[in-house]
Amino acid sequence: MPNAGKSTLYNALLGENLSIVNAKAQTTRHRSFGIKNGVGFQIVFSDTPGILRETSYGMHERMMKFVKESVSDSDVLIVLIDINGKDFSEEIKLKFEQSNAKKIVVLNKIDKSHQQQLEEKLVWLKKNFIGDIYLAISALEGFQLDVLERYIVDGLPIHPAYFPEDQLTDKSERFFVNEIVRNNVLKIYDEEVPYAVEVVTILFKEDIKIIRMSCEIIVERNSQKPIIIGKGGQAIKKLGIESRKELEHFFQKKIFIELFVKVREDWRNNNKMLDQFGYDAE
């Protein structure tokens, strides 16, 4: 569910920050795999967008397609619900309940609740979701994550590993550059502008001591371009500085980054552009 702490949980279970964490909705747009190997098991976590009640753009429809695909092809399904949240998609709920996968209903953010609220919410969950296991956790505090992992491993089929032991994700370096820069767009800019932005890395050149990269900040209206740049270029300068800091931490290398702003009219409804930006229709 939106803002339920899905990305925080994903990162905590993997032990790596592979999914951007932001309080704003629609932070995760793509489906990506995070791979965790242990003694006798390999878990392939599927990180998906949060469930949207309304799809205003073609991009939203493709995001929800990622969710539906994940529900269909998983061996273990986790529905994550904020203890203070109420809304959920009836369509996804039905697909969740009809799935043959092991179903784990997880109540998150219990560090922000009291015992009576926790007990009442668990009763509500058991009435509203048909699952195999119900578990209360705090992804932020790491509470009960070891229990959740054991339940996940118990639900995995016997099968050869899908990925090499040293592989952490199915995504490329450029994907994570795009995500880190886009997350900083969400942090720095207000209102609707961040949601009209896509980031595309057009250059990624790694040397021994430095990685040089160039990114295009895609907006969908001419009026949004000066907002991204800011007065005297101050906003895009801040975006570059904050992104470089996070990228250096992520790659553990010195980063040189250039940012450019391009207008692509109504890209969120343009099928060709959505394909180019990784919102694959297939």
**Alpha carbon of 216 to those of 96, 120, 246, 257: distances in Å?**
37, 48, 18, 11
**Does the pLDDT value for residue 87 go beyond 60?**
no
Which of 3-17, 105-119, 165-179, 225-239 shows the lowest per-residue confidence on average (mean pLDDT)?
3-17
What is this structure's pTM?
A: 0.82
Q: Which band of pLDDT confidence, cut at 50, 70 and 90, is reported for residue 251?
A: very high
Residues 29-73 have pLDDT tens digits of 888 889 999 999 999 998 877 767 667 789 888 888 888 888 778
pLDDT for the residue numbered 1: 53
Q: Which domains are delineated in the chain?
A: 6-154 (3.40.50.300), 173-276 (3.30.300.20)
Supply the mean pLDDT for the chain. 88
Rounded CA-CA distance 32/168 in Å is: 11
Residues 191-226 have pLDDT tens digits of 788 889 999 999 999 999 999 999 999 999 999 999
